[in-house]
Structure 1
Amino acid sequence: MAILFIPFATFILFYINQMTNMLCIQKEIPEDRQPKVFRTINILITILLISSYVEILFT
């Protein structure tokens, strides 16, 4: 299961980062606040992916 989930999770994280970058550009978020936005979104998505993996693993 991990063999399939890890590439999927990497793709999701990469795509979410692209969308976050487009959001920062569209909403004209200042350069000094962008790392905080990226960090927050990456942490939340990582928690979501880990919880999804655990749910799939134990069902």
Structure 2
Amino acid sequence: MSWFFMVAYFIFSWFILYNMNAMTYKLIIQKEIPEVKQPGVFRMINVCITILLISLYVKVVFT
């Protein structure tokens, strides 16, 4: 069960990160954020989402 869950969760996580990056890109275009600040916005959102996904995985696996 653990191996299958890990693979399914990896696919789910990739899908979530891809969608969050697409929404972030649309937000950057809509709000006309300068190109200098764009990498920082993407980095911050990706780090936050990755932390949330890892903590959810740990919670599900160890509880």
Q: TM-score, normalised by structure 1?
A: 0.97
1:30 alignment partner, SS class: coil
Q: Which has the higher helix share?
A: 2
**What is the aligned-residue identity percentage?**
56
Q: Residue 30 of structure 1 is aligned with which of 34, 42, 62?
A: 34
What count of residue pairs does the alignment treat as equivalent? 59
Structure 1 or 2, whichever has the larger Rg, is 2
Unaligned runs of 5+ in 2: none
Unaligned runs of 5+ in 1: none
The answer for the alignment partner of 1:52 in structure 2 is 56
> What RMSD, in angstroms, separates the aligned Cα atoms of the two structures?
0.5
